[in-house]
Amino acid sequence: MKIAFLTDPLTQFKTYKDSTYAMMVEAGKRGYAIYAFGPEDMALESGKVIANISRITLTGDSQDWFRLSEPESLALSAFDAVLQRKDPPFDMEYIYATYLLELAEQQGARVFNKPAAIRNHNEKLSIAQFSQFTAPTLVTRDEQRIRGFHKEHQDIILKPLDGMGGTGIFRIREDGMNLGSVIETLTVNGSRTIMVQRYIPEIVHGDKRILLIGGKVVPFALARIPQNGEVRGNLAAGGLGVAQELSVRDLEIAQTLAPELYQRGLLLVGLDVIGRNLTEVNVTSPTCFQEITQQKGFNVAGMFIDALETAIAA
């Protein structure tokens, strides 16, 4: 099997924690040929979606970890699977890439997650489709609505709809200090829509990442616990990752969403759950494979490649 990874530059990988790297290693162990390219390498030429793609040889060295062949201009349909693993920002270039990938699908490429499904599931807004599991939430650019939400709930979180890794998240407490400034900053003076949620105190126990693979639930979550007075548990914001078994509520949320999201073309999903509340549905490039594997011995990458093999054979 030939697997092409659409991803960020390989030189930026932190191999001790990168989930895409874990996927590559697992695929390599099974004897599959692995390749890599970036969005900038794609083109639509003479009606065909092609890319300058290099084959990867893994060295086994965690630092100097790969060798690349000279890139070849190849049709994406020449691969058994194309894995979309490009991190946000989810900007117009990201969307253009999904359009090209969707055209490639029409030409026979097998793309995971499906590009249309990625476009259709904003990682913040998608929780509104499962409101039975969410805390009180407001999506707006209107200052008065936000102020009214704060007046009702007193302690709130404000965040952009296109952020990742905890960037741009603010907490405003009962006194409302800096609320106006935060609204102006995040909405860019009313020109950008944001999300506002009631603060969930259980964040002190961690923002849990629950992985759904091939419509099934990984039996362990990674609780990302805020450190040093932070309100954000994201690992990129300095959170401490602690793998743990899923709670009854975690399972209720995950088992409800897993088959539905898989049917929509999402092979891999990362749910974020704080306390009893679903806060995000991550579909672009969900992570936390290695932390769960290292702490609990559960081969998440193995489960993923198993699911990929099943999807390709279907």
Active site (catalytic) residues: 124, 159, 209, 224, 232, 272, 280, 282
List b or e across 208-219, with b for residues whose CB sees 16 or more CB atoms inside 10 angstroms.
bbbbbbbbbbbe
- According to the 3-state scheme, what is the secondary structure of 155-210? CEEEEECCCCCCCCCEEECCCCCCHHHHHHHHHCCCCCCEEEEECCHHHHHCEEEE
Nearest-angstrom CA–CA distance, 71 and 165: 31
Pairing mode, strands 194-198 and 156-160: antiparallel
In 8-147, where do the E strands start and end? 33-37, 42-45, 48-58, 66-68, 72-75, 81-85, 111-112, 137-140
Instruction: Determine the Cα–Cα distance for residues 1 and 19; give it in Å rounded to an integer.
Output: 20
DSSP string, 273-307: EETTEEEEEE-SS---HHHHHHHH---HHHHHHHH
